Chain A
Amino acid sequence: MLLHEVIDGPLADRGSEPAVIGEEVTSSYADLAQRAYAQMVRLHDIGLTAGDRVGVIARKSPDVVAAFLGASRAGITYAPLDVQASPSYWAMVLEDFKISQVLSDIPGLADKLNAVRVHDVTLESVPDARVPIPSAGQTPDDDAYILTTSGSTGRPKGVLLSHRNALAFVDWAAEETALGPDDTLLSVAPFHFDLSVFDIYGGLSRGARIVLAPGTATTFPGLLIEAIEKHQVTVLYTVPTVLRILLETGGFDEGAGKSLRSIIYAGEPFAPEPLARLMRALPNATVFNFFGPTETNVCLAHRFTGPPDPEHEIPIGRPASRATIKLVNDAGEEVAKGDIGQIQVDGPTVMKGYLKADGFVPAERPYLTGDFAQRGADDAYYFRGRRDQQVKVRGLRVELGSVENALLHADGVKEAVAFVAGNDLVAFVGGDLALDTQMLRKICAKSLSSGAVPHKVVALARLPRLSNGKLDLAQLKTMATE
């Protein structure tokens, strides 16, 4: 099966039912199919053919979903980019991914991106989709879409995924959460974030309704509460930070959110205490913890049977998406049960490979995630940290080295260190007390995705060091919380 084919079933059974509900437009399954067809025709008209790539830099709308489906149908690989990033970031990523045409809804973007051609993602007219068009001849193992992740050198990398990669996860996840035509999903994650793959293709494949939350919804919980109530949302897949903010501001008090029957979280651990409160506030909702990097999508999952016991650690679960999981040591040998090992994943969701500035790098199979885990007596897996410097900040993966690298490139900065303090990505720079820290954040935004821009930058004359010359991280972390 190919990505755009997920709507064929619902289209035949319930074509006039709503499929994608945007802020301004609601698109039924029949309308979405027509818009997807129109997008495919347009992609051909602008000169793209099977095997080409197209960038998408736009706010979420039914037209953007249709553009993904239309690209899939045309055999064109789509790359949704962080719509909140800067033009220089987009230009760099597009160049690395060898993308020369972009669909967007940002006014004046063409003037800011000189090296590419920019087209309005919104089509004025929707042509009749009954004209037969030949298949692009693609197979499930062909490229479908590209997601971006931060690279260790500060340059983002593309994660190239096939139709099979996406649908192996989508089918498993839809089954696991018993997704059906009576469901309404709230799409909270931006489309460049892999959580959105479940929202879009899980929802469409099962004939459900997908409500697109505006990009600012995670900043303003009121918008999420409003959308959940207005559309009687039943399924919510998001990061713990968003759920915690909703909970702490009373978003689930007095019966609010009672339409929710599945809550899925991923991206970072959820502390047992607020999670238990969430589950008590919404006793009818089943909660799932999904785990896996963008490169493998969800490869482990845990389904809660009740509020977690604060004394007992929350597992990342058991193999998901038909993945084969092994915990291995540095020599690549499977560790003894109960020992800590690196999570190694094989299965249909393992990406095709990375797109880097210097070209395509095929993924090694089985894939080593860089995440460590331990198998418990209950056979479930428990997370034990990451190999390298990658951290999760508010659910988004950030390579600390890339943040430090960006800061080190700014005038006057002699040394830089980044780390996570609470919910924040904090950076300290040494060189001059008078460094303009707001300017430094802007410099970071030029080469980093929005999630990798430090929330706080603190300038010091020089960074504190221990007698052995290493940075005094303990002192910096104390300073960060003051």
Chain B
Amino acid sequence: MSDEIQAKILEFVRSLGDGNQSVEVDTDLIATGSLDSLSVMELVAFLTDEFDVKIAAADITPANLRSVATLTALVEARST
């Protein structure tokens, strides 16, 4: 399950920008500038729709959105 979530998130993040094709599971999305304010909102909308989870505003922090790995953990924590 976790691998499947991770693969889907990775695929989506790679599609977010032309410079994101080389993103890996542990790439720091914030340090590399792969996420800006608008793509954060796109990403949250994707997670909500794709995995049917509720992501609250308070969840949208650099710690949770740091990498595909942390995003996967967030989705799992919210899909209980």
Residues of A within 8 A of B (CB): 216, 218-226, 241, 245-246, 248-251, 253, 256, 394, 423-424, 437-438, 455
CB pair A424–B38 under 8 Å, yes or no, is yes
Chain B interface residue count, Cβ-Cβ cutoff 8 angstroms: 22
Q: Given the complex, which residues of A lie within 8 Å of B80, measured CB to CB?
A: none
In the complex, residue of chain B having the shortest beta-carbon distance to the beta carbon of A244: B41
Residue in A closest to B30 when the chains form the complex, CB atoms: A216
- Give A252 Cβ to nearest chain B Cβ, in Å: 8
Pick from A216, A253, A394, A423: contact of B62, CB under 8 Å: A216
The residue that B38 contacts in the complex, of A223, A250, A251, A455, with Cβ under 8 A, is A455
Please classify the interface of chain B as helix (H, G, I), strand (E, B), loop, or mixed, using the class held by over half of its residues.
helix
- When the two chains form their complex, are residues B57 and A221 in contact, meaning their CB atoms are under 8 A apart? yes
CB atoms of B30 and A225 under 8 A apart: no
* Given contacts A220-B65, A437-B18, A438-B17, A225 and B36 within 8 Å (CB-CB): no
Q: A423-B38, A424-B38, A455-B36 are in contact. Are A220 and B60 (CB under 8 A)?
A: yes
A-B pair number, CB within 8 angstroms = 57
B19, B35, B36, B57: the one contacting A222 at CB < 8 Å is: B57
Please indicate the chain A residues that have their CB under 8 angstroms from the CB of B65 in the complex: 220
Do A221 and B60 have beta carbons less than 8 Å apart? yes
- B73 CB within 8 Å of chain A: no
Contact: A251 with B35, CB < 8 Å?
no
A394 / chain B contacts, CB cutoff of 8 Å: 37
Given A220-B65, A437-B18, check contact A225 B41 (CB 8 Å).
Answer: no
CB-CB nearest in chain A for B60: A222
Enumerate the 6 nearest inter-chain pairs by beta-carbon distance, A residue then B residue, closest first. A251-B57, A249-B57, A222-B61, A222-B60, A219-B37, A221-B57
Q: Is the CB of A438 within 8 A of B19?
A: yes
**Cβ distance A198 to chain B, nearest Cβ, rounded Å:** 22
Complex alpha-carbon distance, A413 and B37, angstroms? 28
User: Contact at A220–B55, with CB atoms within 8 Å?
Assistant: no
Q: Are B41 and A220 in contact, CB atoms less than 8 angstroms apart?
A: no
30 A–B pairs (Cβ distance < 8 Å), ordered by A: A216-B62, A218-B37, A219-B36, A219-B40, A220-B40, A220-B62, A221-B60, A222-B57, A222-B64, A223-B61, A223-B62, A226-B61, A245-B37, A245-B41, A246-B57, A249-B41, A249-B55, A249-B56, A249-B57, A250-B54, A250-B56, A250-B57, A251-B57, A251-B58, A253-B56, A256-B58, A424-B38, A438-B17, A438-B18, A455-B38
Provide the bound-state CA to CA distance between A79 and B60, in Å.
32
Once bound together, how far apart are the Cα atoms of A226 and B62, in whole Å?
12
Decide if B44 is an interface residue (CB 8 Å cutoff).
yes
Q: How far is the CA of A424 from the CA of B17 in the complex (A)?
A: 14
Q: Which one, B38, B40, B54, B57, contacts A225 given CB within 8 A?
A: B57
Q: What is the minimal beta-carbon distance from A90 to any residue of chain B, in angstroms?
A: 18
**Residue B52 CB within 8 A of the other chain:** no
CB distance from A363 to the nearest CB of B (A): 33
Please indicate the chain A residues that have their CB under 8 angstroms from the CB of B18 in the complex: 437-438
Q: Report chain B residues within 8 Å CB of A226.
A: 58, 61
> Is B59 an interface position by the 8 A CB rule?
yes
Whose C-beta in chain B lies nearest to the C-beta of A248?
A: B41
Which B residues lie within 8 Å of A224 (CB)?
Answer: 57
Given A253-B56, A455-B36, 16 new contacts (CB under 8 A): A216-B30, A218-B37, A219-B37, A222-B60, A223-B61, A225-B58, A226-B61, A245-B37, A245-B41, A249-B60, A251-B56, A251-B57, A256-B57, A256-B58, A423-B38, A438-B17
A10–chain B nearest beta-carbon distance, Å: 32
